[in-house]
Structure 1
Amino acid sequence: MTRNDILKQINQIFIETLDNEEITLTENTQASDVDEWDSLMHVLLVDAMEKHFNLRFKASDIQNWNNVGEIIDSINHDLH
């Protein structure tokens, strides 16, 4: 699975979880760039991504994410 494939899937998860069809993520997107992406939504997004990709993120990884690209890095690492 390519980084772009993962980004597209994450984007769809964000659209569904945040109930906002207008979200368009890039690897540089940060929580501050998306109005609905607060700390509560972050927990729901992490849960949705774990279920979708059938993996479990490490707490240390989640705490260190600064943007969507770093989420993709974690997913890529866990899938391989």
Structure 2
Amino acid sequence: MSRADILKEVTDIFIDVLDNEDIVLNDETQAKDVDDWDSLNHIQLVVAIEKHFKIRFTSKEIQSWNNVGEMLNCIQEKGI
């Protein structure tokens, strides 16, 4: 799966979980850039992404992400 395809699917997950059709993500997007992306919703986003791609993240991986690009890198590293 290409990085662009992964980004599209992750964007769709964000739109669904945060109930906001206006979300546009890129590699540099951070939580502060997206309305309602707080710590509680972050957990829901991670769980939804794990279910969608059938993968599991470690706590260390999740805590290392500073932006969407780093999240996408981690998804790609899992062989998606």
TM-score over 0.5 for the pair: yes
Which amino acid in the other structure matches residue 76 of structure 1?
Q
1:23 match: secondary structure: coil
Structure 1 distance, partners of 2:63, 2:70, is 11
Which amino acid in the other structure matches residue 4 of structure 1?
A
Structure 1 runs (4+) deviating above 4 angstroms are none
- For 2:50, the equivalent position in structure 1 comes to 50
Q: How does 1:1-80 map to 2 (within 5 A)?
A: 1-79=1-79
Structure 2 distance, partners of 1:16, 1:36, is 12
2:78 match: secondary structure: helix
Unaligned runs of 5+ in 1: none
Which amino acid in the other structure matches residue 72 of structure 1?
L
What's the TM-score, normalizing by structure 2?
Answer: 0.97
What's the TM-score, normalizing by structure 1?
Answer: 0.97
Which string of whole-angstrom CA distances, capped at 9 and with x for unpartnered residues, describes residues 8-66 of structure 1?
00000000000000001011100000011000000000000000000000110100100
Which amino acid in the other structure matches residue 20 of structure 2?
N
Unaligned runs of 5+ in 2: none
Query: Offset at 1:79?
Result: 1.8
Q: Cα RMSD between the aligned structures? A: 0.8
Query: Offset at 1:3?
Result: 0.8
Identity of aligned residues (%): 55
